[in-house]
Amino acid sequence: MSYEELLTQTALANEQVIVMTAENRALVRNLPGILGKRFIDTGITEQTMIGAAAGLALRGRTPVVHALAAFLTMRAFEFVRTDVGIANLPVKLSSFIPGFLSDGNGPTHQAVEDISIMRGIPNVTVFAPADEDDLVKMLPQIWESKSPAYTRINTRKTTYVHEPFTPGKAEVIAEGSDVTILTYGLLFEQALIAVEMLKSEGLSVGLINMRSLKPVDEQAILKASAQSKLVVTLEDHFLTGGLYAIVAEVLLKHRTTANVLPMALNEKWFRPALLPSVLEHEGFTGKQIAEKILGYQTTHNQPQILTPEFSE
Amino acid sequence: MITVENNNYQELTGTALKVREHIIRMSTDGGCFTGASLSAVDLIVYLYSRFLNINKDNLDDPNRDYLFLSKGHDVPALYGTFAELGLLEKERLKNHLLLNDHIYWHPNTKIPGIEFHSGSLGHLPSVAIGVAMDLKISGGTNKVVCILGDGELNEGTCWEAMLVANAYKLDNLLFVVDRNHFQANVRTEDLIPLEPLADKFEAFGAAVKRINGHSFAELDEAFGAFPFQAEKLNVIIADTVRGKGLPSIQERADRWFCNFNADEIQQLLLELHGEHQTTLTSETLVVR
């Protein structure tokens, strides 16, 4: 099932759902015809769209709003914080092309601080599915909840079949005593590749798909830190405020520590190019991740990375 | 049909044709905002060829004019114009979306001649205001031009900028709207209607001219009169056609962004030149 099919099914089953966009239609192309008045395109007006979503929510609606991640979280930030956050309204933010998925657009379109700023708003929950299968397993509960929610939309297809979703729970893919990789979103695909390479080098490797970044699965983080000699936080996000910071906060809260290797964007935006080139240049292919953890080069082959279709 | 006007504009027409070729050649291997940028070609070629005091030798000169491309996804038209006017080596256009260069979907200052990065809409009217304000304070006679998309006018900051430019009587500042009548996915008038657009700008205190943005004679007349009213923000609405030059994609909602294969690129180049009744140049097709 695709994102659009799930949204269509959800909106048809629940009259209270309103689909909104700030003229980003790539993932909602067919909805104007299907939903009629319950599809609202406000034009390129992210701030007004969020304010209007709050108004619709005041009337009992559940608006699912769409825009590019950079503009949804940053252009409209104060509207999300003030109109949605303070009022604690069930507005569901669906962000397109978060993280590395903005590939060739350039820094204006790079949302690599979205997790940090969205989780900083009281009441707002934050989710990052690993791929399309994960996305359609997570969204029904995210949309049913009464909380405001921010979701990094990721429609990439992988062959991995995910477990059912529980908000606040991570998906533990594997446990390991040498290293555990904690990740979310797009990079899950590369983490799976890295895990296989690390195993063939003789390591005992764990992998956790975080899924829910707020609320976060503290027990999963604590258990991985206790079990593994090394914990890796892997994310297409700034080092500031993302998963590395979340892990640090959880460990400190529980008065413990761990060897943590962060892989994130450290005080820089990424080099714009098509996705496979971006991953290679920034050091985030499965092979590069594995070699960084190992500390030496290997002869493993990096599987081909597919270029996503332009979707804005 | 694109009509060749009188002899005064033959050179501009030739440059614009080459810029359109560059845009088509960039519309592959990942693609670019083809339809969106084709509408702005004549405007951008005119500005750099005839209106702006900007050339490859004065890019750091504080007395140069300023152009801010707030409609950032028009940048293929800017890359093409820079290549034709000698600000950027033509060979570099082949680096579109590659890691060895900085030529991607939105403008950035690593490309000589680009004054400021853009891509997030509704930002550069205010940056242009800042530059125009300093010129008023420090006494420069430089012209400051900011190109806006019509869809971009949805963003509230464009209208805040109008209020502020009017309050500070910035008659050294010129907003130019690439009025191609489309936003990304739909016609502007079918979504967030803008008309009567000139009246709106005038109500904000601006002096407004509205012209055909594909006629060099009309561009000449309008820009030649700048500032057409003192102590006011000046605005030119350039009516344009999305995808101008390629009938097969012209005025199509689904040709904002295009990623064609090599055969399609070849066809479009033929179509472009058929439209002009000229022959293909000898430049080779870029296919990776």
Instruction: Give this complex's ipTM.
Output: 0.91
Residue A165 lies in a domain: no
Between chain A and chain B, the number of residue pairs with CB atoms below 8 A apart is 85
Whether residue A231 is contained in a domain is answered as yes
Tell me the pLDDT tens digit for each residue of A144-173. Answer: 999 999 999 999 999 999 999 999 999 999
Q: How many CA atoms lie within 13 A of B28 on its CB side?
A: 20
Model confidence at A108, pLDDT cuts 50, 70, 90, reads very high
pLDDT at position A35 over 60: yes
Q: Tell me the C-alpha distance between A100 and A273, whole Å.
A: 10
Q: Give a yes or no: residue A306 inside a domain.
A: no
Q: Which residues of A touch B31 (CB under 8 A)?
A: 310
The distance of A291 to chain B (nearest Cα, Å) reads 22
Q: What is the pLDDT of residues A283-296, one digit of tens each?
A: 999 999 999 999 99
Return the residue in B109, B114, B185, B257 with the most chain A beta carbons within 10 A, the one to mutate for interface testing. B185
Whole-number percent of chain B with pLDDT over 90: 92
| Least Cα separation, residue B56 to chain A (angstroms) | 24
Residue B6 has pLDDT above 90, yes or no: no
Domain identity same for A121 and A190: no
Query: Tell me, what amino acid is at A19?
Result: V
State in Å, rounded, how far the first CA of chain A is from the last one: 20
Which residues from A are below 8 Å from B when comparing CB atoms?
23-25, 41-45, 47-48, 70-71, 75, 104-109, 271-274, 277, 281, 307, 310, 312
Are A106 and A177 contained in the same domain? no
- The domain containing residue A234 runs over which residues? 171-294
Same domain, A199 and A277: yes
- Which of A152, A183, A217 is the endpoint of a domain? A152
Give yes or no: residues A88 and A34 share one domain: yes
DSSP string of A232-283, one letter each residue: EEEEEEESTTSHHHHHHHHHHHTT----EEEEEE-SSPPPPS-HHHHHHHHT
A204 and A286 together in one domain: yes
CATH of the domain at A276: 3.40.50.920
pTM: 0.93
Domain assignment present for residue A161? The answer is no
Q: Are residues A139 and A201 in the same domain?
A: no
Same domain, yes or no: A97 and A53: yes
Cα distance from B32 to chain A (closest Cα, Å)? 9
- Mean per-residue pLDDT for B85-108? 97
Say if residue B282's pLDDT is above 90. Answer: no
In this structure, are A199 and A135 located in the same domain?
no
Whether residues A67 and A126 fall in one domain = yes
A interface mutation test: which of B74, B100, B120, B158 has the most A CBs within 10 A?
B120
Nearest to B191 among A43, A272, A312 (CB): A43
A221 lies in the same domain as A96: no
- Residue A274 to residue B97, Cβ atoms within 8 A: yes
Residue at A45 is within a domain = yes
Average pLDDT over residues B170-176: 98
Q: Do A138 and A220 fall within a single domain?
A: no
pLDDT in tens, B55-74: 999 999 999 999 999 999 99
- Look at residue A163 and tell me if it is in a domain: no
Whether A32 and A89 map to the same domain: the answer is yes
Residues A10-31: pLDDT tens digits? 999 999 999 999 999 999 999 9
- B29, B105, B184: residue with CB nearest A105: B105
Minimum distance, in Å, between the CA of residue B150 and any CA atom of chain A:
11
pLDDT at B1 over 50: no
The span from the CA of B15 to the CA of A228, in Å, is: 63
**CATH number of A88's domain:** 3.40.50.970
In a domain, A308, yes or no: no
Domains of chain B: 7-276 (3.40.50.970)
Instruction: Decide if A19 is inside a domain.
Output: yes
Q: Do A272 and B30 touch (CB under 8 A)?
A: no
Task: Give the span between the Cα atoms of B145 and B127, in whole angstroms.
Answer: 11
Q: How many domains does chain A have?
A: 2
What order do you get walking across the sheet with B234-239 strand by strand?
Answer: B66-69, B144-149, B173-179, B234-239, B207-212
- Amino acid sitting at position B164: V
